[in-house]
Structure 1
Amino acid sequence: MTYNLSDFGSYTVAGRLHEVTEGEPRNIQFTRSASYNYDPKGRFAVEHAYVQYFVPAHRNNAPPIVLVHGGGMHGSTWETTPDGRPGWINHLVRSGYETHVIDNVERGRSGFATGIWEGDPISRSQQEAWTLFRIGPIEGFSTRTPFENGQFPAQAFDTFSRMQVPRWLTTTPLHIAALVAVLKRLGPAIVICHSQGGEIAMDAMAEVPDLFAGFIGIEPSTRLSDPGLIASVPTVLFAGDFLDIDHRWRERLQNWTDWVTTARKHGGKATLVRSAHDVRSGHTHMPMLDHGNEECLSTCLQALM
């Protein structure tokens, strides 16, 4: 694909300066031929988020779009799919949307800092991702055999695994602060969030509701806590298939259904997009990487407008 951009680049938001006062200097060998005396004490920039942005040459009139990844992921969620197809960033820019992609605190290009967050980071195994993201049954993992009609590029699953990163479980408030900072920088924007990103976005909305021009939640892992909060924000929730494999997914589907119903009762514009009914069957927890990902995105955007 060819893209005409008027601007692209990156910036960081939020974070703080952290003073380290303990530790002893030591000599370290940082390349084969160079060493120096390293002092672990000093002032360090921590807890910021990295954001990359793309402004099409022929920008449409819609508000900017901010992409918020899920747990154990980073901004590559929205980039090239594991099997090499264009991702949602590509489709958005081609459609004229100014697009901002977050690598949230301690993920991707935001980096991480040791010793300042409670607990240890966790990593998701391939087996857990295969079943949790509803790509296929556990007995199909070794042969990369997905569910029947599954749209995830299962033979590229190992490549997908390289898109996942360790995550802390105690940094959500920092993620919320970073998203709020992005929105304050941009003004009202459409937020597209995935999984854990749904909780982050909803909490950010509670803080700066006027900066949400729209909310698209891709299987958000949160409940609607304040119906009045989203009454003025056009909302779309996307639900994939194979939700009957586990009671937790069945419960989430009910939550999403209740969310939309409640929002409508409070005068809001809200839509639940069910992939099998509104797009095609076989979509997983990762529709932005599935076959037919562009159709999933366009259906959500059309429902929002």
Structure 2
Amino acid sequence: MITLRKTGSFFVGGRRVRVTGQTPYQVTLSSTETREYDPNGTYWIESAYVQYFLQAEPRYEVPLVLMHGGGLTGAMWEDTPDGRPGWLQLLLEAGMSVYVVDNVERGRAGFCALDGVWPDRPLSRSDEEAAQIYRFGCAGHRFPSEAMQGLSAQTVPRWPSTRELQQRALFDVVKRIGPCALLGFSQGGGLVFGAAAGARELVRACVALEPHGVPASFEGNLAGTPALMVFGDFVAEDEHWRALANHADASIAAWNAAGGRAERLDLPALGIRGNTHMMMMDTNSEEVFRVVLDWLGPRIAFDRERS
């Protein structure tokens, strides 16, 4: 049973911009509403949206912040595409308080529709690109392919130029929440490592699922901060993923050289086979969740002894 003391949401970060010199034009808003739209004015942009679920009696000392991947939103942590409980549900059942981020230009954070503010065009991910990048074509994979529409429906446009905005926003999220642990996926995995290094006095542990964009070096003393990178199956057979895994190894070495305690976990080495990039949606997603929780839980439990 899940017993929460509070749920809610907030926006964090961003900046104010002023638009001038634009020509107003006519817009039709509904069958009965047509009017002149003036794009000139003051706007607040580049905020992140955060939804939270706070336990009445948490079993862990700090909450966990979930960071989605590229072209996705916080919805990826909810139900799986074929309707099974997602990791958010499992975390709440485990007694953990959770903050779920929709980062800059994703989901309920909104995006900047003002001409000339962001320098590039948004990208959308096709089903064909997803199948290739997520390793859905590998024999024996565990993604529920019959439910691909559910993944496609939650895929949203992304702007390549906003990564630094997203890194800054996640750092602002951590400062707003206070002591916490971080779990990020793919692009979000790189962001949580960056945020953990930038707010090392607040981040108790950091987990990244098949990350990319992890910094190649870390300045200062990470003071034993534990960190984990998790990889699924079929990585060695794919040139793109081999390169990302090699970069992850280099980042782990850099984290440890800065005084942290990072490690890499390959699911096949545990006898867990068939996992794609979307391991939190694969048919054995709960088994993968247990592996992650078994590592993370002792490191953020009450009265823990830091290992």
TM-score by length of 2: 0.89
Q: Is the 8 A contact 2:82 2:144 kept in 1?
A: yes
Return the offset for 1:208.
Answer: 1.7
Amino acid at match of 1:130: A
1 CA distance for matches of 2:123 and 2:210? 22
Return the offset for 1:76.
Answer: 1.1
1 CA distance for matches of 2:256 and 2:36? 63
Report the number of matched residues. 294
Identity among equivalent positions (%) equals 37
Amino acid at match of 1:78: W
1 CA distance for matches of 2:253 and 2:194? 20
2 CA distance for matches of 1:134 and 1:235? 25
CA, structure 1 residues 207+264, in 2 after alignment: closer, same or farther (shift >3 Å)?
Answer: closer
CA, structure 1 residues 287+49, in 2 after alignment: closer, same or farther (shift >3 Å)?
Answer: same
Please state whether the residue corresponding to 1:216 is helix, strand or coil: strand
Correspondences of 1:1-305 after superposition (within 5 Å): 3-114=2-113, 115=115, 116-136=117-137, 147-226=138-217, 230=222, 232-261=224-253, 263-264=255-256, 268-278=260-270, 280-304=272-296, 305=299
2 CA distance for matches of 1:36 and 1:86? 45
Q: Give the corresponding residue for 1:140.
A: none
Return the offset for 1:274.
Answer: 1.1
1:121-159 CA-partner distances (Å, limit 9, x unpaired): 1111111100111111xxxxxxxxxx3331111111122
Q: Give the corresponding residue for 1:143.
A: none
Please state whether the residue corresponding to 1:30 is helix, strand or coil: strand
- Of 20-29 and 84-93, more deviation after overlay is shown by 20-29
Return the offset for 1:266.
Answer: 5.9
Q: Is the 8 A contact 1:231 1:263 kept in 2?
A: no
1 CA distance for matches of 2:227 and 2:19? 43
Q: Is the 8 A contact 1:271 1:303 kept in 2?
A: no
2 CA distance for matches of 1:113 and 1:259? 32
Amino acid at match of 2:119: E
Q: Is the 8 A contact 2:190 2:215 kept in 1?
A: no
RMSD in angstroms over aligned alpha carbons?
1.9
2 CA distance for matches of 1:261 and 1:170? 28
Return the offset for 1:26.
Answer: 3.3
Q: Is the 8 A contact 2:280 2:288 kept in 1?
A: yes
CA, structure 1 residues 24+252, in 2 after alignment: closer, same or farther (shift >3 Å)?
Answer: closer
2 CA distance for matches of 1:106 and 1:113? 7
Please state whether the residue corresponding to 2:181 is helix, strand or coil: strand
Return the offset for 1:258.
Answer: 4.1
Q: Is the 8 A contact 1:56 1:94 kept in 2?
A: no
2 CA distance for matches of 1:282 and 1:301? 20
1 CA distance for matches of 2:190 and 2:250? 16
Q: Is the 8 A contact 1:198 1:218 kept in 2?
A: yes
Q: Is the 8 A contact 1:119 1:168 kept in 2?
A: yes
Amino acid at match of 2:124: S
Gaps of 5+ in 2: 300-307
2 CA distance for matches of 1:246 and 1:169? 23
Q: Is the 8 A contact 1:279 1:299 kept in 2?
A: no
1 CA distance for matches of 2:200 and 2:216? 14
